[in-house]
Amino acid sequence: MRNQYKREKRKTDKKTRPRSVPKGQFVAPRTAEEYFSKSEHFQDKWNRVTHVISKMRDDRVSLQQASREFALAPRTVIRWSRSALRKRANGQYAAKASDRLLRVLVIPKSEGLREIAVPDSRQASQVGAYWGAVQKYLETGDSSGLRKFKRKHITDANGTRIPLLTDLSEVDRLGSAGVLSFESLYAKAA
């Protein structure tokens, strides 16, 4: 009976204990809480690392070119995002088709902008496509892109489903207030 109690106690303790990190080893943030508990310097560097991976994947550029563009050393990108990279036969690194790196993005809500932490590149791509549809609507009045996102949602890093704003009157209101701009995608919500 006593051993069973200890096993159950250990199981419950694991849920509440923070991850232990060996000294000198980097562990990527997995939740918004972990991300925001870090310094601004760390957050900036983490955002640039995820940008490098996205640039490598989308534009098919080398690790060196993408790292240079975001002012990072290639070895820093490798160390911080090894799970998102694969090493080719020629020794060069390439971005995998998708990754599980946390990204903190901004989406519009009826109250204004809201920061959300998305758990992978696929959710981040969906947010990017949504922002493209919002910008197209605001610039041209063509709402066909936004209609594709009607009743769609984004799942954040905590598993919460966040519906996307597709109400045209709300988008118009936020756009005329100057809240919506493409630069808002990676900006901090005020």
Task: Supply the CATH number for residue 76's domain.
Answer: 1.10.10
Specify whether 120 is located in the same domain as 176: yes
Whether 164 maps to a domain, the answer reads yes
In which band, very low, low, confident or very high, does the pLDDT at 49 lie, cut at 50, 70 and 90? Answer: very high
**Residue range of the domain that includes 44:** 28-95
Question: What average pLDDT does range 18-34 have in this prediction?
Answer: 75
Structural contact between residues 46 and 29, judged by C-beta atoms closer than 8 angstroms:
yes
Whether 15 maps to a domain, the answer reads no
The pLDDT of residue 190? 47
**Maximum CA pair distance of the chain?**
70
Structural contact between residues 86 and 94, judged by C-beta atoms closer than 8 angstroms:
yes
Specify whether 66 is located in the same domain as 127: no
Structural contact between residues 26 and 79, judged by C-beta atoms closer than 8 angstroms:
yes
The pLDDT of residue 182 is above 70: no
pLDDT digits (tens, 9 = 90+) for 123-171: 999 999 999 999 999 999 999 999 999 999 999 999 999 999 999 999 9
Residues 106, 114: Cα–Cα separation, whole Å: 5
Whether 79 maps to a domain, the answer reads yes
Beta pairing partners, 94: 86
- Residues of the chain with pLDDT > 90, as a percent, come to 74
Whether 1 maps to a domain, the answer reads no
Specify whether 84 is located in the same domain as 121: no
Whether 19 maps to a domain, the answer reads no
Collapsing DSSP to helix, strand or coil, 162 comes out as: strand
In which band, very low, low, confident or very high, does the pLDDT at 14 lie, cut at 50, 70 and 90? Answer: very low
Q: What does 100-125 look like in DSSP terms, one character per residue? A: ---EEEEEEETTEEEEEEESSHHHHH
Residues 167, 173: Cα–Cα separation, whole Å: 10
Whether 2 maps to a domain, the answer reads no
Specify whether 117 is located in the same domain as 84: no
Element (H, E) at 80: helix 74-80
Question: What average pLDDT does range 8-17 have in this prediction?
Answer: 50
Whether 43 maps to a domain, the answer reads yes
Core vs surface per residue 69-86: b (16+ CB within 10 A) or e: eeebebeebbebbeebbe
Domain's final residue, options 95, 128, 154:
95
In this prediction the pTM is 0.80
Specify whether 136 is located in the same domain as 79: no
Whether 11 maps to a domain, the answer reads no
Specify whether 121 is located in the same domain as 161: yes
Domain count, the chain: 2
